[in-house]
A and B are shown apart, each in its own frame.
Chain A
Amino acid sequence: MKYIIVLLLLVTGYPLLGQEVNFSGYVRGYSGMFAGNDNYDFVILQNTLNLVAEKKGEGASFRVNPYFYHYKQDSLVIGMREAYIDLEAGNLALRLGKQQIVWGKADGVFITDIISPKNLEEFLLPDFAEIRMGVTGAKLNYYFENNTIELVFLPVFTPTKLPAKSSVWSPVLNFPVAPVFDYSRSEVNPALENTEVYLKYSSLSGSIDYEVMAGYMWDDDAAMYTSLTPNGAGGMNLKITPEHNRLTVAGGSFSTTVGPLVLRGEGAYYSGKKFMTTTPQLNSGITEKDYIHYMAGTDFALYDIQVSTQIIQKSILEYSSDLQSNYSFNGENSTMMTLLLKYSALNETLDFELFSYYDFEFDDSLIRPRIVYDYSDSINLQFGANIFTGDSGQFGQYNLNDMIYAKVLYNF
């Protein structure tokens, strides 16, 4: 299927000949230092080139977005965030290739925004454009007035990218004994039967914007199938076999204004999620449950401060007490909130920002204050901190990873 897509990209690219290619992007220097322990190590010394080459023609265009990350160990990571061709004919638009797809109205949380998987190698700290990975496939849009029907077809499954075990962002795993991992079932072969399909209808109008979506997908996060075998010394061997499973999802989102408030909501029903249980000897320690994930949020201005806040909840249906808690699902209901405050000064050349996640179940949070200064139209300076509070939970597990950082960006 990959070859078919590449062939289509090449064959259909001919209308672009003779058009001018535009280059844009940024070069970024990024230094981060631990402040949560006594070492004050430079945990991040990174130089980045993000390059976008675009060419727009009558009925066809392309975009290629390679990136280059150079790290302190003099290692170089090269990748392709997006590489696609757009073809348009009247009300139809087809996008072929590797692409980031963003759905939904929530900010910083992923409810119906589930097509592009996440790169969590540096947890949730990079910009969301860097966290979302491109997916390879086809997206067909049909437009009529301010309505859109969008069909996404992904023959290649891309899972969540997790941090290396040696990384400071490697999540804490709670197993009674050190497990052995068997990755033999963790791959999903790119075959027609393994295709992911998503459908969305969206509408934008004077009174309300809304989306309704459905998807037949692979769970980006693998379920951990467990087997326990006697080790002959009176103990047990624990083997974990990660495996991705099918999910069926239906949901929607909206945003509207009521006086000075922008109100946003989003929710989805997930069917077929595999949860770990506390009884590994039964069904490989896995049980299937449905769950719902939903959010309500508002944006408004308080004096000259922009405020955006959201409350998010996950609820497992037909919950049973043998489900093993984890940092995403802790009990029947898991509740979280986000808060963004932003104040601009000096004719919007100086911004003060504070973004925070707070998890009610674990009483942990991530607090991200930041100062952004536009030194010139091209050069942007950022100074900030990532502060983790709590002892456990998805944020509290990193409570020794508090850091301060500085970034310099040259935009072109």
Chain B
Amino acid sequence: MKNSAWLLIVFLLTMVSSPYLFAQSKTGLQVIESVYNRPNGSDMSADLTMTLINARGDQRVRKIKQFSKEFGKDEKKIMFFISPADVKNTSFMNWSYGDAGKDDDQWIYLPALKKTKRISSDSKSDYFMGSDFTYDDLGDRLPSEDNHKILKEEKVQDELCYVIESKSKNSGYMYSKTITWVVKDKWVAVKKEFYDEEGKLLKILTVEEYKTINNFLIVTKTLIKNIQTNHATEMKLENIIIDGGISNDKFTERTMTKGL
């Protein structure tokens, strides 16, 4: 009898702590929140190479040095454009806020004009540097901005994923819906489909590589392809340093104008 009781307790504990059972109780919102809240260090610097590939296969390469740092709920990011030559020494700074409803603050420094200009972050549907990523795609979209639903579970790249459908609570949002494949327990989104306002498939983002750096799972290579225009953008992060201790002074107008 005692043995049976112990067996029952062990069985129950095993079931309760099982990722499977826990996962079953997750909602779509919780899965997306897990992705959003996945720790990735308090600061990061990296070299970003963006390769733009048009329908004919012609390539254009943009190189950027980027720094980001968390300030409590908020995050500051600064990017320095290294190439091509006509945008060299241009810099872009973004301050994003954890408070729902508070818009990002953004500035761009234009070396030809020697001016730092405040720009509106409202145009999140604008494409970043001619790529297939909009500013919204690159930002940390708050999970609370969308309604999320688990559609199914399936394997992508040999990893079992939740498939989550997200629809914006704002009817004016640029995508009618997105579908995201999130690796169970790792909370890495390895694939995402974007549907246009008419409900047609617009873009597919695929994570081609992610690595463990300083015990954090970091996405290092992605490919996004616009299905409607056949234009694609590959984004690759290299020389990643996490928690390297970036100074707060990095995220100032002085740094923007001075450059690297």
A-side residues, CB < 8 A to B, are 24, 26, 93, 100-102, 127-129, 141, 143, 145-146, 148, 202, 204, 206, 209, 255-257, 259-262, 299-301, 344, 347-349, 374, 376-378, 380, 409, 411-412
Contacts and interface: CB of A to CB of B under 8 A. Distances in A.
B254 interface: yes
Contact of B105 (A24, A257, A348, A409): A257
> Taking chain B's interface residues, is the majority helix, strand, or loop, or is none over half, making it mixed?
mixed
A395 to B, nearest CB: 22
Contacts of A141: 254
Given A26-B86, A377-B60, 5 more contacts: A206-B97, A206-B105, A257-B118, A347-B130, A347-B132
B253 interface: yes
Contacts of B97: 206
B61 interface: yes
Interface of B: 52, 54, 60-61, 83-86, 88, 95, 97, 103, 105, 107, 112-123, 126-127, 129-132, 231, 249, 252-254
A348 B249 CA distance: 32
Nearest to A412: B85
A288 B119 CA distance: 40
Nearest to A348: B130
A411 B127 CA distance: 23
B120 A299 contact: yes
Contacts of A349: 130
A380 B86 contact: yes
Given A143-B252, A348-B130, A412-B85, A209 B122 contact: no
Contacts, number: 88
A411 B231 CA distance: 25
B119 to A, nearest CB: 6
Nearest to B54: A347
Given A129-B112, A143-B252, A347 B120 contact: no
Given A206-B105, A377-B61, A301 B84 contact: no
B113 A299 contact: no
B254 A148 contact: yes
Contacts of B129: 348
Contacts of A202: 253
B118 A256 contact: yes
A301 B123 contact: yes
Contacts of A128: 112-113
A262 B130 contact: no
Given A206-B95, A206-B105, A257-B103, A378 B84 contact: yes
B231 A299 contact: no
A206 B71 CA distance: 13
